[in-house]
Structure 1
């Protein structure tokens, strides 16, 4: 059993944990924290590592639970991000294979960040053809009796994971970039992505 944060198109290391778990529990009762993958992911572009961030409505200094965070659609970030993904990955081997199922996530607005992240997760699980028993927390606990992998949601300071190299679109520009969004692995490896995730032996 593994405890994880629902994050936005999660980093690859989070799906290493999921692919190697029989059961996962999503933390939904915690307080929202900035500088995490809750509302951001990193992709590979011609200019290098690039952040995609979901803007949210601020609460003026009042602590909010992650599940209560509302997305801000004041700017058309969702349209911009979809175009950015198309520009970055249109030449990747499997982008066209997944893009039709990806587009509704950006085109159908989610009110809450948690709902968006769970949609992203379901999209990824469908792409991987992976079934893992999943539940949500009903109360917050600082400590957890099983594998607590909530720290994988921390984006800054960035942790280094020695993931196995796979070919990336811009390898010739700036070499291999580890632990990008799971989208990078899907677009590059397609159906082999699950084999890759299951083969990684990482200490969390």
Structure 2
């Protein structure tokens, strides 16, 4: 079945399970932007546990904006900060050195639209996994779409369904235990080429 998703920042494992197990990916591009979601946030496993990396955006709740019209607030050095956080968290992981050179350009490019940047991040992960990446986008907003798996709720961090996935080795799991459903980067740096098989074997809860 086709799946309908929001493009998010280095999507969590649930998003990637939905994408890899779908017949076709459709991204929602006609919705209003909402704060406190994974549209501009991803969660990694740092030395002190779960750490959220937030992309600052220019957004005002007074005037509703479409997600596709929201810009990144580039006066902050958020890209450098995120890259340093990834290095600190994953430099000892098995596949950090294998993939980081492919990811660094994302943190060096000039980018404005948060939606466009998220799509570039997703595309790069598919490249790292050596998988084809094709999708279509919505032409209008539909609250109750038919004949498609509506997984847009996966972007809502405030009402997140607790996704319990099969444990895999994580850098700091001896300190804090296994943390499920983190950014795809956590899985990629820890599992490397096995990432695709892991995602295909998981059961998604919606």
Could you list the runs of 4 or more consecutive aligned residues of structure 1 that deviate by over 6 angstroms after TM superposition?
none
Corresponding position of 1:66: 67
Match status 1:163 vs 2:162: no
167, 176, 179: which is aligned to 1:177? 179
Shift of 1:143: 1.2
Shift of 1:58: 2.2
Provide the C-alpha distance between the structure 2 equivalents of 1:186 and 1:50, rounded to a whole number of angstroms.
Answer: 17
Residue-by-residue CA offset, 1:122-170 (whole Å, 9 max, x unaligned): 0111112222531111111111111110001111133211100000000
Q: Secondary structure at the match of 2:45?
A: strand
Q: Secondary structure at the match of 1:158?
A: coil
Match status 1:95 vs 2:120: no
Q: Secondary structure at the match of 1:179?
A: coil
Corresponding position of 2:51: 50
Residue-by-residue CA offset, 1:25-73 (whole Å, 9 max, x unaligned): 0001100001110000000000000000000012361000000000001
Corresponding position of 2:156: 154
Provide the C-alpha distance between the structure 2 equivalents of 1:36 and 1:57, rounded to a whole number of angstroms.
Answer: 15
Runs of at least 5 residues in structure 2 that lack an aligned partner in the other structure: none
RMSD across aligned C-alpha pairs, in angstroms? 1.0
Residue-by-residue CA offset, 1:69-99 (whole Å, 9 max, x unaligned): 0000121011111011011100000011111
Provide the C-alpha distance between the structure 1 equivalents of 2:61 and 2:138, rounded to a whole number of angstroms.
Answer: 26
Corresponding position of 1:18: 19
TM-score normalised by the chain length of structure 1? 0.97
Provide the C-alpha distance between the structure 2 equivalents of 1:114 and 1:54, rounded to a whole number of angstroms.
Answer: 11
Q: Secondary structure at the match of 1:164?
A: coil
Shift of 1:180: 0.3
Corresponding position of 2:28: 27
Q: Secondary structure at the match of 2:169?
A: coil
